Structures are given as C-alpha cells and as structure tokens.
C-alpha cells in the first residue's frame, strides 16, 4: 500500500470538487491538519471513513486504497463487505471492551502506529529529527505502560505472575531495557547538545546566480532542495534566453529543519508575458487568506498561489505590465527561524505575511498542539 499515492489521489479528488482542505475536513468531521496529513501521505484515513470518502468522491474503496481510478467499479458484494468490516470494528469494540480496556487497547494501538511511522520514516530514507527520536522513545515507553495495563485488566498479568520463572525473566528484561534506555538517552541528549551547538554556527546559504536555478528547484533538485513536497510548478520550469531576469535569490537555512526563501523577477516581452500570465491564471490556486496572517493581496495582482497552513507559500505576482515576481517561503512548525525580511523585499511578500514566533497565527496554531 503506497501512502503517498493514496494521499495524492485524495488531493486530486478534492481539487476536482474545488474544495479547500478545511471544507473537506468539515465534511468528515476531522481537522484540516488531518486532511493535510492524508494528502502528504503522512497518515491514512481511518478504516471507518474509507466508505464515506469513497462515496463522497464517487469512487470505489479499491480505487481509494490503490490510489487511482480503475476501469471497472467495485461490485456490490465487495462494497457491502467493506461497509460491514467498518461497522463490525466499531460494534466489537463497543460490545467486548469495558471503559478501561478501551483506553488500554487504544493506547497500545497509538503507540504501535507511532513506532510504525518512525520506522517508515527511516526506511524511506527520511532524516529523523531530534523531536522524532524523542517521540519514538516516548512511544516505546507508552507501549510498555499500556501493555502492562492491558494485561492487568484482561487478567493475563495475574496468570503470568504465577508462572514459574516469571520473576527471573522480568529481572533480566528490566536490566536489559534499562541499560538500553540509559544508552539511548546518553546518545539522544548528546545529539541534542551537538544540534544546539551546531545551530549557533549554522548560517543561511544565499544563492544569486541564476545559472544554478534548476538545481535549486524541487523539480530538478537533489534531496537538499525537495522543499517539504511543496508544489513549485508555479515557477518557470527553466530560464530561457527570451526571459529578462531582473533579480534572483534563493536562501537555504537549516538550523533545526530546512527552510527556504526565494524570489525570481522576470521582465517578459508582450507576447511571452501574455502566454505566461495565461498559464498562471489557469493554475488551480489554493486558499491562502488567513494563513500566517495573510490578507487579500492588493500590492500586486496575484496570478497564482499554492498555500499550505503548515508549510508556507509558493506564488506569482505581477505589476500588470511586463514584470512577473515569483516568490516562495517554505518552512515548518508554523514559523521561520530565518529573518526573512533581511533577504526579500517586503513588497514581494503577500500582504500581511507574518511567520515570526510573535505572530497571532503561530500562537493560535501552537495552542492546538
């Protein structure tokens, strides 16, 4: 099962219905952040939602799970089985488990899912952050605690205690686990110390040579410039001889997590300008007002925008004559460590943009965490 493919398919279906992530989230009673995680492949929809999502987008469950449309629809019998599976899962929990047992099993499941995600990140060659390592350790601890609770409430713990050799086995396992935990904590906090020390010396990398343009865009770049999966197709695929580049800057900064800031200013000939503005106006722009305090754009005409409430913006502006300004601010954790106003003219930012730690948007979003 390809989580990334499923997420991309859900995003395609949402855009076909011309819905925002917030509108889709309201349809299924989840948060917009949950929808964002579905579409980026970080999480999968709950099994109990699969049939609802399939019905809403007029696709079948198999297509949803496969991440693409098929030539023939799922037959009635298969759909009924899927519905019964979701219904059965809910009824079995309600009928068989007491309140304490439900909490116990959910805790174990949550811990397993978290650990599974961490293992996936590593197997997918995604560099784990310090916070992800800490999350893994906390998840393992939660798994152990919830497993003990589960064994206790189901009566299995009492039977195990009476088993011959149980206490000796517990002692050996406890010593081994404590030894591994201590070693892990030493490694973890040593890593944190190194990262903190490194962050003091990390400096933004600033590039102004247009010849390196393709290398620094996600559609032609190595892993350093993947830019958190943001859609940069608003920007030109390449710089051609017919484009008069007035200004270019790309900034890379990675004190904790990678952050990107860039702009490209191009003066076009009348025919090329008409062609490019037409392409941009046909781009399926996303909602953007309210993200990072951004207001409706009035400084320039906004031709196209791809906005994410967590990752930032990619967009194009024009002065209405011959000049098009392509810009992006891509980051995570609802704020930029980079002093972005030092590197980009304020007029190239979307009106009201505020990605500092003091912004109302940052305070509002971090309250939900």
Percentage of residues of the chain with pLDDT beyond 70: 69
* Shared-domain flag, residues 158 and 298: no
* Shared-domain flag, residues 309 and 326: yes
* Shared-domain flag, residues 235 and 289: yes
Residue 159 domain boundaries: 3-199
Dihedral sign from CA coordinates of 175, 176, 178, 182? positive
| Identity of the highest mean pLDDT range in 38-42, 68-72, 87-91, 345-349 | 345-349
* Shared-domain flag, residues 162 and 218: no
The gap from C-alpha 11 to its chain's centroid, in whole angstroms, comes to: 13
Q: Which of the two residues, 195 and 158, has the higher pLDDT score? A: 158
> What is the tens place of the pLDDT at every residue in 278-295?
999 999 999 999 999 999
**Domain final residue, candidates 199, 215, 236:** 199
Q: Which of the two residues, 125 and 276, has the higher pLDDT score? A: 276
What's the pLDDT score for residue 218?
85
What's the pLDDT score for residue 110?
73
* Shared-domain flag, residues 76 and 176: yes
The DSSP code sequence of 17-58 is TT--HHHHHHHHT--HHHHHHHHTTSS---HHHHHHHHHHHT
> What is the tens place of the pLDDT at every residue in 90-109?
554 455 456 566 766 676 77
Percentage of residues of the chain with pLDDT beyond 90: 39
Which residue from 268, 291, 298 is spatially nearest to 280, judged by alpha carbons? 268
What's the domain count of the chain?
2
What's the pLDDT score for residue 93?
47
Quick count: other Cβ atoms within 10 Å of Cβ 305?
A: 23
* Shared-domain flag, residues 267 and 147: no
**Domain final residue, candidates 157, 182, 199:** 199
Cβ contact 260:331 at 8 Å: yes
* Shared-domain flag, residues 327 and 193: no
Full-prediction pTM beyond 0.85? no
* Shared-domain flag, residues 192 and 209: no
* Shared-domain flag, residues 123 and 218: no
The gap from C-alpha 21 to its chain's centroid, in whole angstroms, comes to: 13
User: Rounded to whole angstroms, how far apart are CA atoms 76 and 60?
Assistant: 10
How long, in residues, is the chain?
369
* Shared-domain flag, residues 232 and 300: yes
**Domain final residue, candidates 199, 225, 254:** 199
* Shared-domain flag, residues 68 and 126: yes
What's the pLDDT score for residue 249?
97
- In the predicted model, is pLDDT for residue 240 greater than 50? yes
* Shared-domain flag, residues 184 and 239: no
């Amino acid at each position: 099962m390809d989580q990334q493919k499923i997420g991309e398919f859900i995003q395609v279906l949402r855009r076909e219905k011309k819905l925002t992530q917030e509108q889709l989230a309201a349809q299924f009673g989840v948060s917009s952040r949950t929808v964002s995680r579905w579409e980026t492949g970080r999480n999968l929809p709950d099994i109990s939602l699969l049939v609802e999502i399939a019905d809403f987008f007029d696709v079948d469950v198999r297509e949803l799970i496969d991440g693409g449309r098929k030539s023939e629809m799922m037959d009635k019998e298969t759909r009924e089985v899927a519905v019964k599976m979701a219904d059965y899962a809910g009824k079995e929990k309600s009928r068989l488990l007491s309140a304490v047992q439900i909490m116990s099993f959910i805790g174990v499941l949550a811990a397993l899912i978290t650990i599974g995600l961490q293992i996936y990140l590593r197997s997918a060659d995604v560099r784990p952050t310090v916070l992800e390592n800490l999350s893994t350790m906390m998840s393992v601890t939660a798994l152990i605690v919830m497993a003990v609770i589960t064994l206790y409430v189901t009566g299995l713990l009492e039977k195990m205690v009476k088993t011959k050799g149980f206490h000796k086995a517990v002692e050996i396992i406890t010593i081994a686990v404590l030894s591994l935990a201590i070693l892990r904590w030493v490694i973890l906090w040593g890593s944190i110390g190194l990262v903190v020390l490194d962050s003091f010396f990390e400096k933004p990398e600033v590039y102004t040579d247009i010849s390196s343009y393709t290398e620094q865009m996600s559609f032609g770049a190595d892993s350093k410039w993947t830019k958190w999966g943001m859609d940069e197709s608003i920007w030109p695929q390449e710089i051609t001889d017919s484009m008069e580049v007035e200004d270019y800057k790309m900034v890379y900064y990675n004190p904790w997590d990678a952050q990107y800031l860039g702009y490209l200013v191009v003066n076009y000939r009348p025919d090329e300008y008409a062609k490019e503005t037409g392409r941009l106006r046909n781009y399926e722009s996303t909602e953007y007002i309210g993200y990072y305090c951004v207001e409706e754009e009035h400084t320039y005409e906004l031709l196209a925008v791809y906005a994410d409430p967590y990752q930032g913006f990619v967009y194009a502006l024009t002065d209405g004559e011959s000049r098009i300004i392509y810009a992006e601010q891509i980051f995570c954790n609802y704020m930029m460590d980079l002093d972005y106003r030092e590197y980009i003219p304020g007029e190239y930012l979307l009106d009201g943009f505020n990605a500092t730690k003091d912004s109302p948007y940052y305070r509002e979003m971090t309250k939900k965490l």
